[in-house]
Chain A
Amino acid sequence: MSASRYDCIVVGAGHNGLTCAAYLARAGRRVLVLEAAERPGGAAATREFAPGYRVSSCAHLLHLMPAWLLEELGLARHGLRMAAERMPTIALSPTGALRIPLDPDSAAQNLGDTDAHALHEYEARMRRLARALRPLLEAVPPRLGSRAWRDRLTLLGLAAKLRLLGRADLRELLRIAGMCVQDLLDEHFESPLLKGALAFDAVLGTNLGPRSPGSVFTLLYRLAAAGGAPASLAQPVGGLGALTEALARAANGAGAELRLGAPVARVIVSEDSAAGVVLESGERLEADCVVSSADPTTTFLRLLGAEHLDAGFVRRVTHLRTEGMTAKLHLALGRMPQFTALAGAVPTGRLVLAPSPGAVERAFNDAKYGKFSAAPLLEIIVPTAVDPGLAPAGQHVLSAVVQYAPYRVAGGWEGQREQFLDTILQTLEAHAPGLRESVRAAELLTPEDIEAEFRISGGNWHHAELALDQFFMVRPVPGAAQYRAPLKGLFLCGA
């Protein structure tokens, strides 16, 4: 093996690593993907968490992957099928339910006419703004102050696209981009349930509350990434692992090689450029370039080492905010959960438990002082409602993203995990009486567990907190936002 030489080595077989590998291989490069775990997937994987019950172990909904990308890589040909598409969001309180987007045929919506009308206008405008922001996501961020024409053209192009929004929308974008989501929602709506659910979307996976300025931006970001369509949520058959498996097949089909159980120890630096990697087993693999889908902290400080970088850059990487705020809950259930507010309907959508913006803010208050939320917020799906194959016949799986669960909880997670699980189950029980009795097995992944299982430092599924000060030209850190590391031959392709 030592004689083998690759054009590119991709570190990590998560969805970003595999996508990158597939494209590189299609361009005729000789690519090797190295994955530490025994299966591909990274944070988009399916695994068994209790005998007979399988679940998407980290991300559980397909939301942000652009449709053109799925098509271009021919993932359907490689076996990717959807169990549910265009899943609605259902905001739940113990007694009420609200379907977003509103369904004119459903009698179940308890939203006043004023709010319903406002929601319609609000969604239309947010979609327009999100679409205008989309080019930001699909462009390599330009470098500021560079004299290169490419950077200048990108900047001008982005400015021109924003101008195309027209004066009214551009003004609105410039006004709300830095605003807090609570103020924005208060300008439009009355219903606490509606505002709670929309506020939850804005702060999901971030270290922000609805009153934190910048939370409208995170909401716009989600919308922009989802192509400006609010209901593009989907659930692949077999969980998110099916996506990465299809990606792996696509990469393979294009000629990329994939090695599992091959954790990378460090990047080889020779003559001031990346020349390959050394595995933890000691094996050396050489390549012209190394692409890391690991988070920046891992990539720069562990795989590369501070000695190869200048001090200012290392300081910035150290200051990158990477601590996760979100836990993941998996329940094996003996029967279908019965949510009071759904009145017996099967939960095929994405259920959001965030009764009001005030409740979201209070849940965030706890997290600010290093405590888990006493009244946590949940994004729940019951994957078996549309994909029964994930559990034994007649049995079900519940998967929930739980916020807020600070990475650094005061007193440490050891000993508090049980307590937090109990708090969450109480919340669930309040919405679905009898659910607790039907629990056969439960697994709670705190950010600390996510860090360990998925090798993401800080356990933040975005790798680094999404916030205005860590975005675009300054993401992950200024000087490395163009996917290139300050070292020749080393690239980044993670979240």
Chain B
Amino acid sequence: MVGAGHNGLVAACFLARAGLKVLVLERNPYIGGAAVSRRLYDGFTYSNCSYVCSLLRTEIIRTLDLPGHGLQIIPYEGGCTLMRNGGHLALYDNHDALRREIARHSRRDAEAYDRFARDMLRHCRFIKPLLLRAPPDPTSFKPRDLGELLHLGRHFSNLGEERMYETLRFWTLSCADLLDEYFESEIVKAHLAGSSIIGTALGPRSPGTAYVLLHHYMGSIDGTVGAWGFARGGMGAITQALAAALAASGGEIRCDAPVERILTRNGRATGVALASGAEIPAKLVVSNMDVRRTFLKAMDPAELPPEFVQRVRQFKIRGSSGKLNIALDGLPRFPAIPAGSPCVRGDLHVTDSIDMLERAYDDWKEGRWSQRPYLDMLIPTQIDPTMAPAGKHYMSVFVQYCPYALADGPWTDDKRASFGRTVIDSIAEHSPGFRDLILHAEIRTPYDIEREVGLTEGNIFQGELTFDQLLFNRPVPGYAQYRSPIKGLYMCGSSTHPGGGVMGAPGANAATAILGDLRR
């Protein structure tokens, strides 16, 4: 197994449980990939890539008994969107409180919200059973593929005529058009639209972003659909629990062991060569890396069919998000949020309107970071005291958009600092005195994420979630079932169906495919 990210570890766990002898190789001195907790400043723990949890499949948590291996997920309540004019929209768990809050902006939208939530739930229910299945190849005549296609068709037609049309439309709609069908208030729309652009090189007006919105809705915590939470001890707790589960099944993990090359002979994978020169033979090689890295960097493209290589080159992995991890001397104040409101413990967004999000995207298209970025801020230390010393706080700030390649030349330390200033200035507009609280800030551009985590272009999903790269097209048409053109080489990263987020489904599906091939 190449890479100890959450998908690599999930796949490794399932393979080890089936009795295979599994070795996980990790390039960094620590495991976790993009689900990692790190101590970069005295006494503080940062969730320094992914920062909240919801998508991790319940089936995986239960089967691998992750709570038994130390994983604790704490849901947070609500959230809030802060506007530049001092206004805000808070979201609460409590349904009545939520309705009152939305009605403060628009009475009609308060009514519409229930309809919206119900419809989103329905779309979730449609897609959920598909997450843990390998997508069929629609061009194949194999009985398995035809069977899966038929299953898909049945699943779809069970929706009933009305719902089928709604679903067809939903998959191709832009988030802005979707929200326009329900809401009139700009702030309500902007609040909801945030999830449709996270990690995506598209704007809220781009068709297909309604799906990205859904992608962030389909998780659950303890059966509460759409709920998000913190992993106690940071996101690294998830991969630590997976590592513990793996150890319990007899799997082995080796850190500081960067894989230089995947070895093949006669079209079959035979093992890997480490950067140190050591070769490790294996019957099967599974790559947790994204497809571009797996096939273009760790292999000689000449060993692969040329059309496959071309498709891998064309697979779109675009860096569009940045991240700040900030150690704070105290809890920042947000005057817009009423004192004592629980929403400050949830995710705080900074944006005014769909237009503002769209303009932030226009900046990205031109190769600069957004001058008015969309921010998703969380202060997990309000709920999880293990991440910072008493009285101090850790704040995670997700920034959309930030390009991997700038129009005016490569990233430099100065540019990174300037990007950080743009973000901090944005926060300070809503939180007076914020700058004085900062003890340490880690600023991460897509370029940094690529260097550190190994994600091509720093794309958090290992590939854009657009229709041309979903289901049977992900990552390459004809190779959507976790197998590669090389016998004995499999893919299990987020580049595969059903895509990114700390979900674990690609890892679990890859393990199923591998065990199927081994007839175990």
Residues of chain B within 8 A (CB-CB) of A469 are 168-170, 172-173, 177, 207
9 A-B pairs (CB sep. < 8 Å) = A144-B161, A144-B168, A145-B157, A145-B159, A174-B473, A212-B205, A213-B468, A361-B365, A478-B162
Q: Within 8 Å of chain B (Cβ to Cβ): is A146?
A: yes
Q: Which residue in A171, A361, A474 is a CB contact (below 8 Å) of B169? A: A474
Fill in one digit per residue for B357-368: 1 if any A CB lies within 8 Å of its CB, else 0: 011001001000
* A183 and B139 contacting across the interface, CB-CB below 8 Å: no
* B202 and A213 contacting across the interface, CB-CB below 8 Å: yes
Residues of chain A within 8 A (CB-CB) of B473 are 174-175
Fill in one digit per residue for B149-170: 1 if any A CB lies within 8 Å of its CB, else 0: 0000000010111101110111
CB closest residue in chain B, given A179: B468
Residues of chain A within 8 A (CB-CB) of B172 are 178, 214, 467-469
Q: Which residue in A171, A174, A213, A468 is a CB contact (below 8 Å) of B466? A: A213
Cα A473 to Cα B156 with chains together (Å): 15
Residues of chain A within 8 A (CB-CB) of B205 are 212, 368
Residues of chain A within 8 A (CB-CB) of B180 are 319
Residues of chain B within 8 A (CB-CB) of A249 are none
Fill in one digit per residue for A451-489: 1 if any B CB lies within 8 Å of its CB, else 0: 000000000000000011110011000110000000000
Residues of chain B within 8 A (CB-CB) of A214 are 172, 207-208
Q: How many residues of A contact B (CB 8 A)?
A: 38
Q: Within 8 Å of chain A (Cβ to Cβ): is B96?
A: no
* A365 and B362 contacting across the interface, CB-CB below 8 Å: yes
Residues of chain B within 8 A (CB-CB) of A468 are 172, 207
* B165 and A212 contacting across the interface, CB-CB below 8 Å: no
* B468 and A474 contacting across the interface, CB-CB below 8 Å: no
* B168 and A171 contacting across the interface, CB-CB below 8 Å: no
Beta-carbon contacts under 8 Å, A141-180 to B: 143-146, 163, 167, 170-172, 174-180
The 5 closest A-B pairs by CB, nearest first: A178-B467, A478-B165, A468-B172, A145-B161, A171-B477
- A474-B168 contact, Cβ under 8 Å, with A144-B161, A174-B477: yes
Query: How close is A151's CB to chain B, nearest CB, in angstroms?
Result: 10
Cα A470 to Cα B173 with chains together (Å): 9
Given contacts A180-B206, A183-B314, A212-B205, 4 further A-B contacts (CB under 8 A): A183-B316, A213-B208, A478-B166, A478-B169
Cα A168 to Cα B71 with chains together (Å): 45
CB closest residue in chain A, given B158: A145
Q: Within 8 Å of chain A (Cβ to Cβ): is B226?
A: no
Cα A208 to Cα B61 with chains together (Å): 42
Beta-carbon contacts under 8 Å, B311-359 to A: 314, 316, 355, 358-359
Cα A321 to Cα B177 with chains together (Å): 9
Cα A143 to Cα B358 with chains together (Å): 36
* B468 and A178 contacting across the interface, CB-CB below 8 Å: yes
Residues of chain B within 8 A (CB-CB) of A63 are none
Q: Tell me the interface secondary structure of chain B in the complex.
A: helix
Cα A212 to Cα B466 with chains together (Å): 10
* B177 and A178 contacting across the interface, CB-CB below 8 Å: no
Fill in one digit per residue for B107-124: 1 if any A CB lies within 8 Å of its CB, else 0: 000000000000000000
Q: Within 8 Å of chain A (Cβ to Cβ): is B413?
A: no
Q: Within 8 Å of chain A (Cβ to Cβ): is B478?
A: yes
* A212 and B162 contacting across the interface, CB-CB below 8 Å: no
Q: Which residue in A146, A170, A208, A319 is a CB contact (below 8 Å) of B161? A: A146
Cα A146 to Cα B162 with chains together (Å): 11
Cα A211 to Cα B466 with chains together (Å): 12
Query: How close is A429's CB to chain B, nearest CB, in angstroms?
Result: 27
Cα A467 to Cα B168 with chains together (Å): 12
Query: How close is A335's CB to chain B, nearest CB, in angstroms?
Result: 40
Residues of chain B within 8 A (CB-CB) of A208 are 207
Fill in one digit per residue for B194-206: 1 if any A CB lies within 8 Å of its CB, else 0: 0000000010011
Beta-carbon contacts under 8 Å, A26-47 to B: none
Cα A365 to Cα B355 with chains together (Å): 11
CB closest residue in chain B, given A472: B168
Q: Give B contacts to A, CB under 8 Å.
A: 138-139, 157, 159-162, 164-166, 168-170, 172-173, 177, 180-181, 202, 205-208, 314, 316, 355, 358-359, 362, 365, 466-468, 472-473, 477-478
Beta-carbon contacts under 8 Å, A394-424 to B: none
CB closest residue in chain A, given B362: A365
Residues of chain A within 8 A (CB-CB) of B314 are 183, 187
Cα A474 to Cα B173 with chains together (Å): 12
* A213 and B157 contacting across the interface, CB-CB below 8 Å: no
Cα A176 to Cα B469 with chains together (Å): 9
Residues of chain A within 8 A (CB-CB) of B468 are 175-179, 183, 213
* B160 and A145 contacting across the interface, CB-CB below 8 Å: yes
Residues of chain A within 8 A (CB-CB) of B202 are 211, 213
Q: Which residue in A143, A167, A172, A467 is a CB contact (below 8 Å) of B207? A: A467
* B466 and A179 contacting across the interface, CB-CB below 8 Å: yes
Cα A474 to Cα B169 with chains together (Å): 8
- A175-B477 contact, Cβ under 8 Å, with A208-B207, A469-B169, A473-B168: yes
Cα A376 to Cα B206 with chains together (Å): 21
Cα A479 to Cα B166 with chains together (Å): 11
Beta-carbon contacts under 8 Å, A350-378 to B: 361, 365, 368-369
Cα A478 to Cα B167 with chains together (Å): 11
- A170-B139 contact, Cβ under 8 Å, with A211-B206, A468-B172, A469-B173: yes
* B157 and A174 contacting across the interface, CB-CB below 8 Å: no
Residues of chain B within 8 A (CB-CB) of A470 are 169
Query: How close is B331's CB to chain A, nearest CB, in angstroms?
Result: 37
* B165 and A171 contacting across the interface, CB-CB below 8 Å: no
Residues of chain A within 8 A (CB-CB) of B365 are 211, 361
Residues of chain A within 8 A (CB-CB) of B207 are 208, 212-214, 467-469
Counting chain B CB atoms within 10 Å of each CB, which of A163, A172, A176, A214 scores highest?
A214
Residues of chain B within 8 A (CB-CB) of A172 are 477
Cα A478 to Cα B160 with chains together (Å): 13
Residues of chain A within 8 A (CB-CB) of B159 are 145
Residues of chain B within 8 A (CB-CB) of A212 are 205-207
* A144 and B139 contacting across the interface, CB-CB below 8 Å: no
CB closest residue in chain A, given B208: A213
Query: How close is B379's CB to chain A, nearest CB, in angstroms?
Result: 34
Residues of chain A within 8 A (CB-CB) of B359 are 369
Residues of chain A within 8 A (CB-CB) of B206 are 180, 211-213
Q: Which residue in B164, B181, B467 is a CB contact (below 8 Å) of A145? A: B164
Cα A16 to Cα B173 with chains together (Å): 28
* B162 and A213 contacting across the interface, CB-CB below 8 Å: no
Query: How close is B502's CB to chain A, nearest CB, in angstroms?
Result: 25
CB closest residue in chain A, given B359: A369
Cα A227 to Cα B365 with chains together (Å): 35
* B165 and A174 contacting across the interface, CB-CB below 8 Å: no
